[in-house]
A = this chain, B = another copy of it.
Amino acid sequence: MPGTLSDAALARLFREARTHNAIGGEADDDTLRTLYDLLKFGPTEANACPARFVFVRSPEAKAKLAPAMSEGNREKTLAAPVSVIIGYDMAFYDKLPVLFPHTDARSWFAGSDEARLDRVGLRGSSMQAAYLILAARALGLDCGPMTGFDNAMVDAAFFGGTAVRSNIIVNIGHGDPAQLFPRSPRLSFDEAARIE
């Protein structure tokens, strides 16, 4: 189809992309800002963009994060050049007058019960985590996404005094293909999908 990306690009993004455990290299400020300036365009419900990002890079910040990681995720997180904490702001609606300016979208969410706000935040920030993973790959970086950490510890260490809740942490840098496990299976089309 017109507009289809090259096979090399499809391989980089999907077909040959892997979750990396051993991630090294570096990621400077410019790279992280370029990454954000791609992922920010991904769509979210009411353009609410609920995700908030902490790029954990300094030894001090890594030391603050390490105790919250599950044992299996701790060493590789300390070794990665950057670990991105992706959380979501439960008060995301306060940005809607800017993000959705053509109507009063704030009133669609402000005053909603916690369960609904948590659901919108979790959904949107999960989509934005996926945009981050694919944007990083599009920039030639490799990723190692994780949910194996203590959310309450991360929230206390990085989001204290805010309404932000952690969701996913992604190590980014340059993966070592020699340390990859074989790729795990995926569901076939017919197991996961149908056409009606």
User: Could you tell me the distance in whole angstroms from the C-beta of A16 to the nearest C-beta in chain B?
Assistant: 9
Interface string of A167-181 (1 = CB under 8 A from B): 110000000000001
Residues of B within 8 A of A138 (CB): 4-5, 9-10, 13-14
Q: Judge whether A31 is part of the interface by a CB distance below 8 angstroms.
A: yes
Q: Judge whether A107 is part of the interface by a CB distance below 8 angstroms.
A: no
The residue on B at minimum CB distance from A36 is: B189
Q: Judge whether A163 is part of the interface by a CB distance below 8 angstroms.
A: no
The residue on B at minimum CB distance from A25 is: B1
- Chain A's interface size range is 35 or more
If A9-B9, A123-B167 touch, does A184 touch B55 (CB 8 Å cutoff)?
no
**Which of A's residues lie within 8 Å of B, judged by CB?**
1-6, 9-10, 12-15, 17, 19, 29, 31-33, 36-43, 45, 47, 49, 51-58, 60-61, 64, 95, 98-102, 119, 122-124, 126-131, 133-135, 138-141, 143, 145, 147, 158, 167-168, 181, 184-187, 189, 191-196
